[in-house]
Amino acid sequence: MIELSWPQVSARRLERAGLGARTAGGRPEETVADMCGAHAQVMSAGEASVALRLDGLTRAHVREALWGERSLVKTYGPRGTVHLLPTRDLPMWVSAMSSLPPGNRAFPEPIRMTPEQTDQVVAAIRQVLAGTAMTIDELSEAVVAATGPWAGDLVMPAFQGMWPRWRQVMAGAAHQGAFVFGPARGRKVTYTAAPALPPARDGLSGLVESYLRAYGPATPADFAQWAGGPVGWAAPAFRAVPLEEVLFEGRSAWVLAGDTAVPEDPPRGVRLLPYFDAYVVAGRPRELLYPGAAAGRALAGGQAGNFPVLLVDGEVSGVWHQRRSGSRIDVTVEPLRDLTPAQSRELDEQVERVGEVLEGRPRLTVGRVEVGAHA
């Protein structure tokens, strides 16, 4: 059995997730496919995640791919969180995510919708959004009209009040391909019908393969946690794909059959990754990606992504934050280790690149980041 060390796996993942040398002439949808989706709950961070991996691109190029070319789509992805996905891969994602076991058991009985009610809401969303885009208020009114007053009962705890009952199935409806996000209407989010594409036969196998290409070696438990499903759902999906078992730092893990190559050189380089970057969210084991003080400083209750991170030689080695005022962008970086002169120069280059991506004038301060974790 092949044995792989953390430095070998780290170098392999960095290269495959687009965090080696930036790719000149690459396209956003190709990069997002390699990342296995770009987390976009914080939209500006999602735009930066993609553009930072591509030489010369800015957030404007990512927005054009999403709203102009429509080569990207914004919808609910792994863990029921908002992601950017390649439009061409949407059938794979719909097939894979719709195979997740129903998750509404998390809601108390008085709030919970029955399977029949869930089906009614998903069908209503699909119907009312055909050929149009709606704000959440417009969509809510249309769904309640199509299903019944029960769907509009204000029983869902929300940030500043209560949401109607039907909203508990938003992520599930997106996973079934009932809708995607549409272009903003002023400051309001809109929702629209998903693009019409041929369905995928076995999207779950395709998603396992994509995940392992980017973040293997991994286990069914790793995949399940990343995707937001139970291990009992992930394990059969692994068995349906040709795999090869390896020893990764002494534990059994899997890669795609024959896909055991690793770079000759150890991981090198300095990177600034924004909130919820796919690389750190998917990266496991956490204790290797977040060594020593990084675990306490850059994880929030064990959860990755709540802080933008400084990545040095493939490991989380600090946190950072940016604050914008007009065209000026103040970037504060808090390293958790001493940087060599060469690494300090790379950090300067990364800050300049962040400024290019965000279309502003950056200024670096090395010091304590006072901003807390993102919710």
Q: What is the mean pLDDT of residues 198-219?
A: 97
Task: Specify if 254 maps to a domain.
Answer: no
Pairing of strands 82-86, 38-39: antiparallel
23 falls in which pLDDT band (50, 70, 90)?
low
Task: Give the count of domains, the chain.
Answer: 2
From its phi and psi, is residue 202 left (phi > 0), alpha (psi between -120 and 50) or beta?
Answer: beta
Residue 110 pLDDT: 85
In a domain, 208, yes or no: no
With a cut of 60, say whether residue 105 has pLDDT above it.
Answer: no
**Residue 123: inside a domain, yes or no?**
yes
Out of 146, 176, 206, a domain closes at 176
- Are the C-beta atoms of 128 and 139 separated by less than 8 Å? yes
pLDDT tens figures, 212-254 = 999 999 999 999 999 999 999 999 999 999 999 999 999 999 9
Task: List Cβ neighbours of 358 (8 Å cut-off, separation of 6 or more).
Answer: 44, 48, 58, 59, 322, 324, 329
CB 270 within 8 A of CB 310: yes
Percent of the chain with pLDDT over 90: 93
The residue range of the domain holding 132 is: 100-176
Q: What is the pLDDT, as a whole number, of residue 361?
A: 98
Could you tell me if residue 113 is inside a domain? yes
Could you tell me the CATH number of the domain that includes residue 289?
A: 3.40.630
Task: Look at residue 32 and tell me if it is in a domain.
Answer: no
Last residue of a domain, one of 124, 141, 176: 176
User: Which of 123, 147, 176 is the C-terminal boundary of a domain?
Assistant: 176
**Phi, psi of 134, rounded to the nearest 5 degrees:** -135, 145
Asked whether residue 224 is domain-assigned, the answer is no
CB-CB neighbours of 198 under 10 Å: 6
Over range 260-289, report the average pLDDT: 96
Average pLDDT over residues 81-96: 98
Token pair, residue 306, equals: 């709540």
Residue 24, pLDDT score: 60
Please state, in angstroms and rounded to a whole number, the distance separating the CA atoms of residues 294 and 319: 9
Q: What is the pLDDT of residues 127-137, one digit of tens each?
A: 999 999 999 99
Predicted local distance difference test score (pLDDT) of residue 109: 83
At 103 the pLDDT is 67
Give the per-residue pLDDT at 358: 97
In a domain, 156, yes or no: yes
| pLDDT value of residue 236 | 98
Does 343 map to a domain? yes
User: What is the average per-residue pLDDT within 194-206?
Assistant: 95
By C-alpha distance, which of 82, 135, 103, 45 is closest to 357?
45
State the average pLDDT over residues 274-298: 97
